[in-house]
Structure 1
Amino acid sequence: MKKSKFAIAVVNIIFLITIPGLTLGGTEQVTAATIKGYVKVKKQKKVRLYKISGKHSNFYAKAKYSYPYSAKKKIGKKKRSAYKIGNNSHWILAKDVKVVKKSSPRVYTQAKMKLPKGYTKSQLLLAYQGKPTKNFVNASMQGMKANDFSRLKVSESKADDLTQVDLNQLTPKQIGDLTAFSLRLINEARNDLNLSPWVESNGTGKLAADIALEYSKNNKTIKDSHYVPGIVRACHANGLNLDDNFVEDMAGFYNISQTMSMTELKKSVYFGLKQMIFGYVGSGEEGRSNRSYYQEWEHAGDLFNTEGSLHDGDYNYYGFSISHNDNVCSLHFISVPTYVVNSKKYNKGFKP
């Protein structure tokens, strides 16, 4: 399959930003030592955030969302009372929020990916071919709703909450953890379709790292779609005789900070996978009840090796990587089909 599509994942949105053609989210953090309390947006719609000068910023706070604040003071010439939220000096007017008690204790649970009844290989194939049935769309909508790790205030562990990830330089352990996390979710869903699991491999992990490096070196992100020249170069360097993008599925999100917690990052990965599996093209959880946002299952056809080809039912070798440019984090889900690995035509030295 030529992988020409991509997904925009938005998780834990705190500030909404509009980029031509995309509505994206960025996550900011306030360190525990600076938190003085929590405020909740009163309104049913997003509200404007301000600079300390009193001028509008380009950011908004989500409706009915709670935020930790680190200071309260009067801002601007009008001396309007406001709370400081985030770590980039964003202020929200006191009139737009109410002070609330500290959040409940953190709940820890392992993320799961479960396919709903009605999500079958035969139905997926029709959707992949551009003919999704009403029942399949219903199943996909149910899948977006039922798989809720990305929108609940839960995490997999306290360690994930405390681990800060530098998006420009993830450690080998962090990449390993995210690879295992994403592969576990993919294989849970594949198991529901009685498909063989994908297999993590060192060779595909290196290919994923080289592809991310191509994006970083050439200042490319998910906003530019797949960076095919870089993908092809990485494939050739790793012994794969491929002349187009046959290995990458991609999701991403906008993040105004260089760092985020492992929990936040896992939620972004989770949401990106959920988008691809259920054909959802909306930029956040809020639109998941809108049927018009369910329209692209090429990713799912790849993730489940269900494309109407001679190789349906096969499995792939898997790797994962991240690149971060211009405040956009691109998630690279890299897989090499077994038939490519076993082909003398395509495999010129690649070792999974």
Structure 2
Amino acid sequence: MKKKMMVTLLTSVCLMGPVGMLTQTHPQVVQAASKGKLRVKGNKKVRLYTNRGKKSKYYAYTSRTYSYSAKKYLKIGKKKHLAYKIGNNSHWILAKNAKLVKKTVERYSQAVIKLPSGYTRSELLEAYKGHPSEEFIAASMKGMEENNFSRVATGETASDKRLINPDKLSASEQHELADFSLRVINSAREQLGLEPWIYSTGTQELADDIANEYEEHGRSIKDQGHYVEGIVKACQKHGLELDDNYVEDMAGFTINKTTMPMGEMKRNVYFGLKQMIFGFAGSGEDERKNKSLYREWEHAGDLFNTQGSSHDGDHNYYGFSISKTGKIYSMHFISVPTFIVGSEKYNTNFRP
């Protein structure tokens, strides 16, 4: 029943767009409330006008998108022309020189794992033992394809846009990620007729101490193995007399930045869980169609308490933590089986 880890690393890429530059020939950024956005029509810069319909010294450029705060008709000569205000100093662009940018509606989606037909506990058990059927591999590949939250840029809600530091999570941020990961796990367990795992304070404290052991000793997922010594030490500190790793599954990612949107962090967590459930050993979404990379379901056996033992079908107490070593972030999915909690042999003082 030893827990395993995903030996592949996810890579989070920070895509930075070009920064808009202000020069003396550009209008200043509008300060009033924006009513919409527009771009210059055609491929040449266009002259802007003052509030009185006079030509200004400023231009609007095709490379930029402008917010406008008002529109009205300007009298230029003997004619009136519809115009949009795009600056805070009465810079107006004629409507004939502009094209409005359609508002995009951000679509959010809740993260769940849907198990395809053919993904059953009996098939999983054979895969856990190292003998996956062709049908089960096909179901796993379908699961990697159809469960696409890790490829959705928006996240679950607008609040997922806020920046977090994975190495310095607040208590509420850590609890949000623990709740998120547990919800994803239980969404899949329910489809297999399994009881849900339960978040517990004691297991969360254990998860935190395991993460601390990794950081204090410079260990990470990149070391191609669990830090068993640290895991055993943390377990015994919490009253669990275990001599090996029976509590940790692990995934990870690397980034070259210190902060990221909460939605990006959730996508990393989701992808790690998706890898485990569907036996995918690739390093990213781009490799998900490679059949040869579907070869390890020991994590799934852990997550679904399906390992060919007398304790199959049980449920666990759960906690989640993150450790950082260099630019590598290890995600620790910590679970303590109920039979261990109820065992006088293994549990001397652990309280979930």
Give the TM-score range, shorter chain: 0.7 to 0.9
The match for 1:218 is 217
Give the drift of 1:138. 0.3
The match for 2:259 is 259
Distance 2:119 2:20 in 1: 46
Deviations 1:59-93 (A, max 9, x none): xxxxxxxxxxxxxxxxxxxxxxxxxxxxxxxxxxx
Is this contact kept in 2: 1:7–1:276, CA < 8 A? Answer: no
Aligned residues: 273
Give the drift of 1:192. 0.6
| TM-score of the aligned structures, taking structure 2 as reference length | 0.74
Deviations 1:27-72 (A, max 9, x none): 32649xx7449xxxxxxxxxxxxxxxxxxxxxxxxxxxxxxxxxxx
Bigger-Rg structure (1/2): 2
Supply the AA of the counterpart residue of 1:222.
I
Supply the AA of the counterpart residue of 2:208.
A
- Any idea what SS the aligned residue of 2:214 has? helix
Distance 1:248 1:7 in 2: 14
Distance 1:264 1:212 in 2: 21
The match for 1:167 is 166
Give the drift of 1:169. 1.1
Is this contact kept in 1: 2:214–2:227, CA < 8 A? Answer: yes
The match for 2:207 is 208
Distance 1:332 1:153 in 2: 24
- Any idea what SS the aligned residue of 2:149 has? coil
Distance 1:329 1:299 in 2: 19
Is this contact kept in 2: 1:168–1:324, CA < 8 A? Answer: yes
- Any idea what SS the aligned residue of 2:302 has? helix
The match for 1:325 is 325
Give the drift of 1:347. 0.2
Is this contact kept in 2: 1:150–1:270, CA < 8 A? Answer: yes
Supply the AA of the counterpart residue of 2:337.
P
Give the drift of 1:159. 1.0
The match for 1:187 is 186
Supply the AA of the counterpart residue of 2:120.
T
Give the drift of 1:260. 1.0
Distance 1:234 1:213 in 2: 9
Give the drift of 1:156. 0.7
Quick one: structure 1 residues 9 and 186, their matched pair in 2 at CA, closer, same or farther if it must change by over 3 Å? Answer: farther
1:28 to 14, 17, 24: 14
The match for 2:142 is 142
Q: Is 177-186 or 164-173 further displaced after alignment? A: 164-173
Quick one: structure 1 residues 143 and 9, their matched pair in 2 at CA, closer, same or farther if it must change by over 3 Å? Answer: farther
The match for 2:338 is 338
- Note the aligned Cα RMSD (angstroms): 2.0
Distance 2:339 2:145 in 1: 35
Is this contact kept in 2: 1:114–1:188, CA < 8 A? Answer: yes
Quick one: structure 1 residues 102 and 150, their matched pair in 2 at CA, closer, same or farther if it must change by over 3 Å? Answer: farther
| TM-score of the aligned structures, taking structure 1 as reference length | 0.74
Runs in 1 of length 4+ with deviation above 4 angstroms? Answer: 101-105
Supply the AA of the counterpart residue of 2:300.
A
Supply the AA of the counterpart residue of 2:278.
F
**Which residues in structure 2 correspond to 1:232-251 (within 5 Å)?**
232-251=232-251
Distance 1:180 1:139 in 2: 27
Is this contact kept in 1: 2:140–2:279, CA < 8 A? Answer: yes
Distance 1:29 1:343 in 2: 50
Quick one: structure 1 residues 102 and 328, their matched pair in 2 at CA, closer, same or farther if it must change by over 3 Å? Answer: farther
Is this contact kept in 1: 2:154–2:160, CA < 8 A? Answer: no
Quick one: structure 1 residues 102 and 222, their matched pair in 2 at CA, closer, same or farther if it must change by over 3 Å? Answer: farther
Distance 2:103 2:229 in 1: 47
- Percentage of identical aligned residues: 53
Give the drift of 1:236. 0.6
- Any idea what SS the aligned residue of 1:2 has? coil
The match for 2:302 is 302
Distance 1:296 1:329 in 2: 22
Give the drift of 1:144. 0.2
Runs (5+) with no aligned partner, structure 2 = 22-100
Is this contact kept in 2: 1:6–1:226, CA < 8 A? Answer: no
Is this contact kept in 1: 2:4–2:250, CA < 8 A? Answer: no
Distance 1:200 1:182 in 2: 10
Quick one: structure 1 residues 261 and 29, their matched pair in 2 at CA, closer, same or farther if it must change by over 3 Å? Answer: farther
The match for 1:91 is none
The match for 2:69 is none
Supply the AA of the counterpart residue of 2:211.
A
Is this contact kept in 2: 1:277–1:297, CA < 8 A? Answer: yes
Distance 1:228 1:116 in 2: 34
Supply the AA of the counterpart residue of 1:147.
N
Give the drift of 1:287. 1.0
Give the drift of 1:111. 1.1
